[in-house]
């Protein structure tokens, strides 16, 4: 079982729609969760972090965490073509270290 799992996609949504990206993780003791965005040919950049159960909103982005289900999601409202990228779910597992484990990423296409 992979430590962080995501649907590789591609996920295609029309402009203005809500894009929903999902992620599951295996270490039940994990406490820190992140979503990174990676444009083609570029390095990842952090867009959201979440540490507690529930929703966290930042502009058009909402991260959702359910530790009981070991599930993290990212919602992008009013999707724009500029949101087209690969979204990487990342987790810091409760292994006593500081390493961040990344999922394989979900490719998102927003059609104009």
Q: Which residues bind another protein (CB under 8 A)?
A: 32, 34, 36, 42-46, 49, 51, 88, 90, 92, 97-105
Judged by beta carbon, residue 69 or residue 98, the one nearer another protein is: 98
Q: How far is the CB of 15 from another protein (least distance, A)?
A: 26
Judged by beta carbon, residue 61 or residue 102, the one nearer another protein is: 102
**49 burial type by CB count under 10 A (0-12 exposed, 13-18 middle, 19+ buried):** middle
Q: Per the structure block, which two tokens stand in for 96? A: 């006593």
Query: What is d(CA 39, CA 112) in angstroms, rounded to the nearest whole number?
Result: 17
- Classify each residue of 4-24 as buried b or exposed e, where b means 16 or more C-beta atoms within 10 Å of its C-beta: bbbeeeebebeeeeebebbbb
Q: How far is the CB of 23 from another protein (least distance, A)?
A: 11
Judged by beta carbon, residue 102 or residue 109, the one nearer another protein is: 102
Q: How far is the CB of 24 from another protein (least distance, A)?
A: 14
């Amino acid at each position: 079982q992979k430590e962080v799992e995501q649907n590789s996609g591609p996920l295609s949504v029309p402009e203005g729609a809500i894009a929903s990206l999902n992620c599951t993780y295996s270490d039940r003791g994990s406490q820190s969760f992140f979503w990174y965005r990676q444009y083609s040919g570029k390095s990842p950049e952090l867009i959201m972090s979440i540490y507690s159960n529930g929703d966290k909103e930042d502009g058009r982005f909402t991260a959702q965490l359910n530790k009981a289900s070991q599930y993290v999601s990212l919602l992008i409202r009013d999707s724009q073509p500029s949101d087209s990228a690969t979204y990487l779910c990342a987790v810091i597992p409760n292994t006593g270290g500081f390493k961040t484990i990344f999922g394989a990423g979900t490719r998102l296409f927003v059609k104009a």
